[in-house]
Amino acid sequence: MISLRAKIYQIVAKIPKGNVSTYGSIALMAGGGGPRYVGWCLHHNPDHNHIPCHRVVSAQGKLAQTFAFGGLNGQAKYLQAEGIKVKNGKVVSFNNILWKGK
């Protein structure tokens, strides 16, 4: 049986380049844990190359203050490299690029 943490990583790995999802949405898709647990898992991401945790933001589109790979500026840098606009620590046009899973 797959662990909840592994499910979270599998779901995050599916978020397409140029899209974002939320901690809460990931928790719902994984079947539990809650948004804070998802954040904890992503902060301890073992493989950023295959688990793009930078694509997960708050329900308001805000970036993580303590992003594991360079803090707020690090997350913004990764998102901007994928063509996602960020302004004042928040994803611009958040609802237009929100991935809801498939």
pLDDT at res. 22: 97
What stretches of 20-61 adopt beta strand conformation (E)? 21-22, 56-57
| Structural domains of the chain in order of their starting residue, each with its CATH number | 4-94 (1.10.10.10)
CB 45 within 8 A of CB 67: no
* Cα(36)–Cα(94) distance, integer angstroms: 20
Per-residue pLDDT of the chain (102 residues; tens, 9 = 90+): 789 999 999 999 999 999 999 999 999 999 989 999 999 999 999 999 999 999 999 999 999 887 666 766 889 999 999 999 999 999 999 999 999 987
